[in-house]
Structure 1
């Protein structure tokens, strides 16, 4: 089997765009699932703007996510995150990548359901760990057992992520393959009435 990935077909792009209409496409999932990378490539395929909610939070607060956690704690960070995501969703059709804890907030989930299509990038523990243990700046993993914490987050959050409109398995294949699977899942959805 070849690893060569053909460009996404124009037909698939048109079908996915028709289902989305003016709604946002919102990526949810744990840290390391690929929400930003896949979101950016999906935005390119659909010719839609892309925004990463964590980057937007950092832009408006002029602090990094890690600095916000340290200065104000997770509760205040989540309140800011909810406000920023609500504002981002008001701008019409765009691709939004959210932080790992965003979709866990019931208000944020309702906002996404109202104006978007949610895509859960579901990944196994070993895939996530391989991706996140190479990078600094993960406030929830700054402890003596970061892999155990990641596993605990999976147990707590996966049932909530499962409420997303579609789920796509994030794994170690070419990113373009995942983008194609995202577009196929969206194109297979019934159009919103």
Structure 2
């Protein structure tokens, strides 16, 4: 069977849905962000602070390439992983790509619980969410299946 790949904006439920699916299917759950932090021995927030988003995306692509080689896995990606076609191509080789969606307001509500979202450390996080969603929409729509959470 193919891997299940969960993409979508932060706060759309990728980690939670991934846990449930992995348990039900007997698949291994792997979270790309967690794997990045393990590999780099630091947090994503620190990677963004020290090296910026371009370096983070480079690291992320390497991790996604490795994860995409797994079998019987539920792979939860970071919200911006879809921005690189290379990532989508690697994930699609052995997986079906699902994009989880939610309204900007729901995303803000879900992400305001913690402060470890570097892209939302701005004066108006709701506006930032709307801008990022609008920019990323065409990338998210490349998924095989879209699901509103």
TM exceeds 0.5?
A: yes
1:160 aligned partner: 139
Is the aligned partner of 1:33 residue 2:16? no
What residue ranges of structure 2 are gaps of 5+ in the alignment? Answer: none
Which residue does 1:102 correspond to in 2? 81
Aligned to 2:69: 90
Q: CA RMSD in A?
A: 0.8
Q: CA–CA distance in 1 between the matches of 2:11 and 2:40?
A: 23
Count of matched residue positions in the alignment of Structure 1 and Structure 2: 149
Q: Is 2:112 the partner of 1:133?
A: yes
TM superposition shift of 1:34: 0.4
Unmatched runs of 5 consecutive residues or more in structure 1: 1-20, 171-193
Return the index of the structure with the highest Cα Rg.
1
- Post-superposition Cα deviations, 1:121-166, rounded to whole Å, max 9, x if no partner, equal 0111111111012211100011111111111011011221111011
Find runs of 4+ consecutive structure 1 residues off by over 3 angstroms. none
Q: TM-score, normalised by structure 1?
A: 0.75
Between the aligned partners of 1:70 and 1:106, the Cα distance in structure 2 is 25
Query: 1:1-193 maps to which residues of 2 (within 5 A)?
Result: 21=1, 23-170=2-149
1:128 match: secondary structure? helix
